[in-house]
Amino acid sequence: MMENAPLRYGIVGPGQIAAVFAESLAESGEGRVSAVFGRSAERLAAFCQRTNAEPHSSLQTLVESPDVDAVYIATPHTLHAEAVRAALDAGKPVLCEKPLTTSAAEARSLWDHAARTGTPLFEAWMYRCQPQIEWCLDVLKSEVLGRPLKIESRFSFEVPFEASHRLFDPKLGGGGILDVGGYPVSFALAVERAIRGHTRDNVDVPVARPDIARVSGVVGPSGVDHHAEATLQFGDGEEPFVAEIAVSLDRFAPPTTTITCEQGVIVLADPYLPGGERRGKAAEVAFVLAGSLPETKVVRADLDPFAAEAQAFRKWIERGESAPIGSAPWPMVGRDESILIAEILEGWRAQVAGLAFR
């Protein structure tokens, strides 16, 4: 691969999110889909026809293809680990959709495998690449609003129950916590690290492990969580930081996220889907300083979040040995944060429904 050249992606799992990713690559020029593997012959053929990519009948032939520079994985959660390991063994950098896997132990194992093979691995939290996140963290770091006290965030949508659907199938890692719980969890971690000085120029601030408190939820007939809430408590003593988070599959609520500080508030209309769109480029943020009128800012991006993520992934790969395996450009997610997200999601699920993957 030549420097600044678009990556040729092999896609594993030609589903809805992979289609969005492929569209972003095509529109932005940040890459192109060269090969696809999927277990459904019909879906595979349709996807390849849309993207003009080569269909593969096995995972192994895709990761070994000389026409593939990197692998993007968008299968159901429980199938991620197999594909990640195969790509890493073939020396192909991996961009894997969230959550990286369904247990903290397996997440740790995959990161260890990346280190052994010396091959880059990224967990795809695309929302982190929308500039509203960096803007928000910079404001918090500036302390113009004083010390952050609490973040309230949710990711909710309504899907008709269907036991065979991946969202409701425990064998495929179903449930709201695993599907979207990582969004408010990872945002809370980003805010907490910003409080302690984590910035673009200081990426060595370690992640902090919160306590999981005041958990509640509703478990559906297939045994996965349909609705779940939790409070994450960071630190103790006189200066705690609290994250109140919630996810739902069976009810819709506005996606607004609020960060309350000592001297004001930041309100993000939709931190995870800018403008309410997967490929949204404009995000609305309200900034309220105590004693002043609210100010609304629209943070615009040149690239949609998926394309921006692909760009960051490409640039990181191009750094070669200067980009250690497990590290990540700010404010993206690296090894330690990825594993902590997995640990929090696992603990949250266990408390809500006794759900655990071995």
CA distance 18 to 306: 10
Q: What are phi and psi of 231, to 5 degrees?
A: -115, 125
Task: Tell me the CA end-to-end span of the chain in Å, nearest whole number.
Answer: 38
Sequence-distant (6+) residues with CB within 8 A of 191 are 136, 137, 140, 148, 151, 241, 243, 259
In this structure, the chain runs to a length of: 358
| Active-site residue set | 98
For residue 252, which amino acid is it?
F
Residue ranges of the alpha helices (H) in 72-223?
A: 80-89, 104-117, 131-142, 176-180, 182-195
Q: What are phi and psi of 114, to 5 degrees?
A: -60, -40
**What DSSP string runs through 209-225?**
PPEEEEEEEEE-TTSSE
CA distance 269 to 334: 26
Hey, which residues does 219 pair with through a beta bridge? 225
Question: Cα 241 to the chain's mean position, in Å?
Answer: 22
Question: Cα 158 to the chain's mean position, in Å?
Answer: 20
For residue 207, which amino acid is it?
V
Hey, which residues does 229 pair with through a beta bridge? 216, 246
CA distance 213 to 229: 10
Are the C-beta atoms of 12 and 74 separated by less than 8 Å?
Answer: yes
What is each CA distance from 160 to 15, 69, 154, 218, in whole angstroms?
A: 19, 38, 19, 15
Hey, which residues does 282 pair with through a beta bridge? 300
CA nearest 127: which of 304, 315, 314? 304
